[in-house]
Amino acid sequence: MKYETVIGLEVHVELATKSKIFCSCSAEFGGEQNDHVCPACAGMPGMLPIVNKKVVDLGMTAGMMLNCDINRVTTFDKKSYYYPDLPNAYQTTQWFAPICVNGRVDIETSNGPKSIRIKQIHMEEDAGKLVHDDWTDTTLVDFNRTSVPLIEIVSQPDISSAEEAIAYLERLRDLLRFAKVSDCRWEQGSMRCDVNLSVRPVGSDKLGVRSEMKNMNSLSAISRAIKYEIARHTKAVENGETLIQDTRRWDDNEGKSYAMRSKETAGDYRYFPDPNIMPVVIDDEWFDGIKATLPELPEVKRAKYIDELGLSEYDADQLVSSRALCDVFEDAVAVCGSAKEAANWIITDCMQVLNKKKMTADMLDINGTSLGQLIKLVSEDKVSRGNAKRILAAMFENHIADVEAYAKEFGFIVSNDTSAIEAIVKEAIASDPKSVADFKAGKEKALMALFGKCMKQLKGNANPQVLREILIAEINKA
């Protein structure tokens, strides 16, 4: 008999907000333990939640990127359970009217394109973190992550292999990062995945008994875990064993899953409407405002960069790998008019600076308009390439609104004053008769030595072509 796998994924994504979902504490990753905490997110009596509007903005953005319908009246509910990292003993989430429903994500697989339906996206708060200290045999709790805003993206059980799961998760990550919903970093826990999986005979319309693996945090672990579970389920079904619906832990080092507990059902959580939070009503103005901020999809930009702007496929791929690169690129091209140059400056020079700072492409935070001005100054021979790189480095530290004024102030403008260049050339020739003689004897390299000396004296601010011409003319006179 042949079997097929049925997989549904629940993906938690931390939203890119400055503050938490119901209070003004910082939502930033890390920090000193229990530094981002106030009475509200510590669950003190009498504290009331206030919904962070940005959370709703980003929830809506995610839904629009994933082709969902947006519920114009969306409400929050309490999910009751106790755990030491949850000070309220309930999680505020959405159960009865989640913000987004009925979406779709299109993926590419080795069997061709496939659509994965999205059941819903709901907004909720994250829990804190337990810190197990092996030295003192104690467990401590860190509430920094408590009430950091999340969306949970629940797929329909449309996924049938590890390959499809990975394609779906990669596409999800690309879309959410492109729309600046989240940085989606598996390694920092801002993207996490629960895998629900069952196996049934091909042709059966009845679902098999499913197991759930929670809080998976890397694509490779997810892929291995799915393959392991498919084998485990198939073997059990073939042997006529009774599977138990359970929640399992994946041990990536051992390459095995272990049962943690039999699966709880929705009823166990006693969901009920949170009486402290008014329904959120999304009017047309709010809805349309968010719609207007949606970015073009990466593949649309890619085609545009190649077809309309004449970039190579390689350059286009590099740029669309990050929304930040696209934004800087498009602003720069609008000013300098050269797509090829702007792409080069971003892919080569900007990436070099980022690498040195151990930053990723997403962290590129320079002003594209200023970069465009800089590229223009170089193409007009007003600033040398070497000095332009210095100006670029300064742009990473401070916003430079008027690049030409900045170049003037710091002596980075190429001199058109040939008499000044001549004076320096004469000095160099007089101080280095050996190089002069070598050059006259046919040693091309000797010219470079003199050229370098002069350029250094001129602080790089000479047109190389002009300097070279003057140098040769003066040597011939000498």
Residues that bind Mn ion (CB under 5 A): 152
Q: Nearer to Mn ion by C-beta: 152 or 174?
A: 152
Q: Which does 447 bind (CB under 5 to 8 A by kind): Zn ion, Mn ion, none?
A: none
Q: Nearer to Zn ion by C-beta: 25 or 151?
A: 25
In angstroms, the Cα distances linking 458 to 352, 393, 414, 432 are: 26, 20, 9, 17
| Closest approach of Mn ion to the CB of residue 215, in Å | 10
Q: Are 345 and 383 contacting, i.e. CB atoms less than 8 angstroms apart?
A: no
Q: Which does 152 bind (CB under 5 to 8 A by kind): Mn ion, Zn ion, none?
A: Mn ion
Q: Please choose, from the candidates 2, 5, 320, the residue with its C-alpha nearest in 3D space to the C-alpha of residue 165.
A: 5
Burial of 461 (0-12, 13-18, 19+ CB in 10 A): buried
Q: Which does 306 bind (CB under 5 to 8 A by kind): Mn ion, Zn ion, none?
A: none
Q: Nearer to Zn ion by C-beta: 49 or 59?
A: 49
| Closest approach of Zn ion to the CB of residue 37, in Å | 6
The residue sitting closest to Mn ion, measured at its beta carbon, is: 152
Amino acid found at 7? I
Amino acid found at 313? E
Q: Rounded to whole angstroms, how far apart are CA atoms 271 and 274?
A: 9
| Closest approach of Zn ion to the CB of residue 23, in Å | 3
Question: Which residue pairs from 292-296 have beta carbons closer than 8 angstroms and sit at least 24 positions apart in sequence?
Answer: 293/61, 294/61, 294/64, 294/65, 294/179, 295/178, 295/179, 295/323, 295/326
Contact between 429 and Zn ion per CB under 5 A: no
Stretch binding Zn ion (CB under 5 A), from 36-44, 50-58, 245-253, 450-458: 36-44
Q: Are 162 and 123 contacting, i.e. CB atoms less than 8 angstroms apart?
A: no
Stretch binding Zn ion (CB under 5 A), from 33-41, 154-162, 252-260, 303-311: 33-41
Q: Nearer to Mn ion by C-beta: 150 or 197?
A: 150
Three-state DSSP state, 368 = helix
Contact between 23 and Zn ion per CB under 5 A: yes
Contact between 25 and Zn ion per CB under 5 A: yes
Contact between 41 and Zn ion per CB under 5 A: yes
Q: Which does 38 bind (CB under 5 to 8 A by kind): Zn ion, Mn ion, none?
A: Zn ion
Q: Rounded to whole angstroms, how far apart are CA atoms 249 and 229?
A: 11
Q: Nearer to Mn ion by C-beta: 126 or 183?
A: 126
Q: Rounded to whole angstroms, how far apart are CA atoms 116 and 100?
A: 15
Q: Nearer to Mn ion by C-beta: 152 or 331?
A: 152
Q: Rounded to whole angstroms, how far apart are CA atoms 312 and 332?
A: 18
Ramachandran angles phi, psi of 405, nearest 5°: -60, -40
Helix (H) or strand (E) holding 427: helix 418-431
Q: Quick one: the chain helix, strand, coil %, rounded to 5? A: 40, 20, 35
Stretch binding Zn ion (CB under 5 A), from 40-48, 63-71, 159-167, 439-447: 40-48
Contact between 181 and Zn ion per CB under 5 A: no
| Closest approach of Mn ion to the CB of residue 12, in Å | 6
Contact between 86 and Zn ion per CB under 5 A: no
Q: Nearer to Mn ion by C-beta: 152 or 330?
A: 152
| Closest approach of Zn ion to the CB of residue 42, in Å | 7
Number of residues that bind Zn ion (CB under 5 A): 5
Helix (H) or strand (E) holding 303: helix 298-307
Contact between 38 and Zn ion per CB under 5 A: yes
| Closest approach of Mn ion to the CB of residue 152, in Å | 4
Residues of this chain that interact with Zn ion (CB under 5 A) are 23, 25, 38, 40-41
